[in-house]
Structure 1
């Protein structure tokens, strides 16, 4: 059976905006994105919302629902009581373009700062050999759909906009961790060091492992436990392990 829900939707642009109230029809089995589309079709044809696949795989429809970062297409209306007000707002950590659409170009800028995978010199692609455990580790990180919900909820970015210059956020520290853990990555052959890059260029030290990024990930990637903490451990080993320090001095 359908019912009429009370929605509060943020309307505005980079200059100013406000929450506006609407009564919208909801049918059984629908998700929040369905209701937003009905709102566009019946009351607000100029409402801006970004979406694409409607299957939780493109990451386009990221927003905040009742203050929690979520995908509009993966949030079922059945999780809300029929008399509950559903508030939909744009992601708070990124500049608003219009209505529910935000400018997420910060994330693509950070992605370009990470040196790409560097295969072993003299090894042809068909000759690559990896243990299954290493394959599975990389596969978990590659489940990321770049919805940027982890970036949005990370308080280092969310509460301190100035940190964006020095902190890439959990999504791209996870990318650095993926490459650092990859047994066939030979970035070091070119004089690079992904551990130093993580600490000095991408702000790994700002992360205090609250696991808020993991909690909002729609792909259930264990970002903190499997990427950020191991990367921190590798950085600590590099700087503070006495045996590694001795080896480094002898090598120099």
Structure 2
């Protein structure tokens, strides 16, 4: 056991300052252990968010010596004995108290991301995927939502005004995952990433990849492929030629006629069946005309009265496929055979 110098930010929404502490550190401990010892011995009112202490919940995200890290995964042995360890809250998000920040921005952006849309011709239980398709998006499922990639992204770290139009790396990998999903029925993921998530703001610094504790290649495997899809659609030679030939009013007439012929009375995600807006990427010309490419407006997911996504796949009456453990087992299991009476309580 040895004495180490710590400098921790203390304060709230009104302001604060760095406070010095001298605390005992044992061999093999991590920064979160030291913070807990400080709470137990010197400053019981120190606020710190944590949960699993195993690097799987993402709760203990802080900035240690200026770098966003998980406190439970940062070993004290990585610092020199005479080095002062500085622990501060995530800089990108508003401070609640001490090391706890308000990360609700990320959940707001998550709600704006359209959910998985299963193909209408398949019922729950009939989804089938090739293993190669599973592995392609499995990397992005490792995200623990620590939001280190969000806080290190300079687009919103240094520019608060960008938060409204920029979703951040965490939501980009979600968009990429759904865009790569072979059963996802939405075809506007690239447009949604461009027009609503603001993927064009990203300039590929790869800082989000560097701080990811799950070692997800956010930039190379998610953001760059999504940017390529957006550019491929926007600068396709035939689409470019169409924008030069057709005037905007002609595009609107064709879109209206096409919708009427298809019997479309409204778009999903809009209340009352009202048609959603159509976005145009207009390019004014010296002659005063405006040529445009019709881009379907991304639609938000349908929410229930409480503003939540409907959980329609958690329970259904259709029996599942044969069990590999025997043909006498069917799914879902009869509620009488369950030890946990959740569904009975709900009924």
Normalization by structure 1: what TM-score?
A: 0.94
Which residue of the partner structure matches residue 87 of structure 2? 88
Which residue of the partner structure matches residue 204 of structure 1? 199
Which residue of the partner structure matches residue 131 of structure 1? 130
1:178 aligned onto 2:177: yes
C-alpha displacement of 1:244: 6.1
CA distance in 1 between partners of 2:75 and 2:153 (Å): 24
Which residue of the partner structure matches residue 35 of structure 1? 34
Cα offsets for 1:181-207 (capped at 9, x unmatched): 11110023xxxx111111111101000
Which residue of the partner structure matches residue 232 of structure 2? 237
C-alpha displacement of 1:246: 6.9
Within 5 Å, give how 1:113-192 maps onto structure 2.
113-188=112-187
CA distance in 2 between partners of 1:39 and 1:208 (Å): 40
C-alpha displacement of 1:160: 0.4
CA distance in 1 between partners of 2:51 and 2:29 (Å): 17
Is this contact kept in 2: 1:89–1:100, CA < 8 A? yes
Which residue of the partner structure matches residue 220 of structure 1? 215
Is this contact kept in 2: 1:3–1:26, CA < 8 A? yes
CA distance in 2 between partners of 1:40 and 1:83 (Å): 22
1:58 aligned onto 2:53: no
C-alpha displacement of 1:4: 0.6
C-alpha displacement of 1:130: 2.0
Q: Structure 2 stretches of 5 or more lacking a match? A: 247-253, 256-347
CA distance in 2 between partners of 1:243 and 1:39 (Å): 65
C-alpha displacement of 1:102: 0.1
CA distance in 2 between partners of 1:242 and 1:179 (Å): 26
C-alpha displacement of 1:125: 3.2
C-alpha displacement of 1:180: 1.1
CA distance in 2 between partners of 1:236 and 1:115 (Å): 21
Helix, strand or coil for the counterpart of 2:156?
helix
Cα offsets for 1:116-158 (capped at 9, x unmatched): 0000111123332222222112211010000000000000010
Which entry has the higher C-alpha Rg, 1 or 2? Answer: 2
- Work out which structure has the larger RCO, using CA pairs closer than 8 Å and 6 or more positions apart in sequence: 1
Is this contact kept in 2: 1:238–1:245, CA < 8 A? no
CA distance in 2 between partners of 1:217 and 1:57 (Å): 12
Which residue of the partner structure matches residue 340 of structure 2? none
Is this contact kept in 2: 1:237–1:244, CA < 8 A? no
Q: Structure 1 stretches of 5 or more lacking a match? A: none
Higher helix share goes to which structure? Answer: 1
Helix, strand or coil for the counterpart of 1:219?
coil
